[in-house]
Structure 1
Amino acid sequence: MKNLLLVLLTITIALILTSLAMAQPGLPGNPAQAPIDGGLGLLAAAGGAYAYKKLKGRNSESEDV
């Protein structure tokens, strides 16, 4: 009985110490947020127009053949 109690106590202490040793520090504060405004919309519109131009040019070349 004494050996069983000693083994259980040892396992309990080992589990507690392991969880304390592996603990991570808390998360830092929130980072500063970067504003996303109209510039992103302009870039998306320009990319869409460029893709449309490329696709239209490719289709007109294939119709000429």
Structure 2
Amino acid sequence: MNSIASALRLTVAATGVFLLAGGFTLAVAQGPGSGGPQPDPQQPTAVPIDGGASLLLAAGVGFGLKKLRDQRKRR
């Protein structure tokens, strides 16, 4: 029974060392690539913030109203 536990510990330790060594060899930096998408020269500052900003504004108003109602209920 003791030899089985010893063999299991050795197997687990060897597997851990193998996985760590494999993880370090796979962590290689990537090349420079293409540099990503290029901006449109006709509209250099075109950023689509309308939808997200309006949703955040509506969520903030709703949250503020909820906090005001909760505060009035406590009194």
What TM-score does the superposition give when structure 1 sets the normalisation length? 0.43
From the CA coordinates, give the structure whose radius of gyration is larger: 1
What TM-score does the superposition give when structure 2 sets the normalisation length? 0.38
